[in-house]
Structure 1
């Protein structure tokens, strides 16, 4: 063997050595658990989501109990998605003062004030047509939708949300929301922008869970083309210029190159969303005995951190302790 020959295995020989030189790690505090709160359910009820084993729609009181357990586990926080009793053309329950998400925010903060509550700011869960804004014919009208998003963000802040996260991909939404929050007396509430959100096929199980499948067409006219990279930089830069405090890439695993690109370009806190389809694939393969669920779930979370994400929205968050 040549003198000085590299022996990488020296540092892999024991668990203690591997722990000592490990470059990246995932902690419970890095994770955000998405929750679906359903106004149609009895307050204490939970309803399983067929395409997302282990995930549920929650009644209001059941959600608060679940949030308390999550806080005890040390998970970083939650993001809330609402399913209202009634939907209309502009998604008015999304910004109603006593809407399902607004009530849930207040109830969680009353029970576990230390738990970070993030909210999804979009219209798709609340509109009768399932699109992410106000329609003109069959097209989502950008500037009219901005007004709805402003109302939604302010209503969430008034209810006690710690972070608002617009996911609609309307042009100018971050500036509009920042202006509305400041004018309403909430300059301290940060905006986590879904800066780079692709028109992905990985959202299918979420649309079942949130009852938000478009009644016609798709969302390709406002979400990004999966083929595009440079566009991601333009979108992220626009949101930074408009006042975004944090950035997010969605989906996660198919877009690790985009996570790395944004990490290298922007100093802002960077999040990634491990979406419903990613979660469902791991769960389905594990149920068939094709994958080790714990090992693959942890490996996928490490991949996000290795690519440069500071935080991860993932349906594995609540089970993270049992995965380790």
Structure 2
């Protein structure tokens, strides 16, 4: 009897350990973005990031409607989209959603806000594709949107993506100038703090990475550009989106951090990712580029 009880206890322990490692491993696999060689035959049929202000709002605050959508040409083993929303050059909110054996991801979020602001959202759409003989490939894309919101006590709330009137142009110029001045100071301090020889780098704000969805990075092929961007977003997800390890070794939420500046080395050996956290920590991440 004792021997049977002993064997049963051992079986329970083994089963518990198996389930523990299985579910923890599954969680790690699902909630991650990993770059694999891109399958040139698989494309996203739709990728979209949209910001707008619903017509109904009260006098004290307004709501930003933030929608992210993507559809792949076929079902994938794993689909995941992440999105970053910046207000006046500072990270305001994040979005993330994954799904198994699906081709489509839909996300939406409403953000309450007050005062005028320039909002930018950039999204990374990713698919992990599994084939026979343990072959894994990926598909990826990006989408972007921006919105200027003018909240004045003297006039009704208005918003626009691109200025149409002379007044819109003036408001855009004012908001852009304030944001650019703030980021210029932050980036200058980061570059000085980490002693970066800027003449050796191409400097690209993170939201401008979207421009390289269809054109290559300076001095690179489109194939190499896609590889670098895929690896960049893998690093962003692990080391920025999920939390930033500050100079004290503590993990900070990314919200409130500055718009990251990407510096691509002109010798194509590495890139730098610079940002300042909400608490004021200077952060530098390095990604080495395989030739």
Please, what TM-score do these two structures have when normalized by structure 1? 0.22
The structure that has the greater radius of gyration is 2
More strand by share: 2
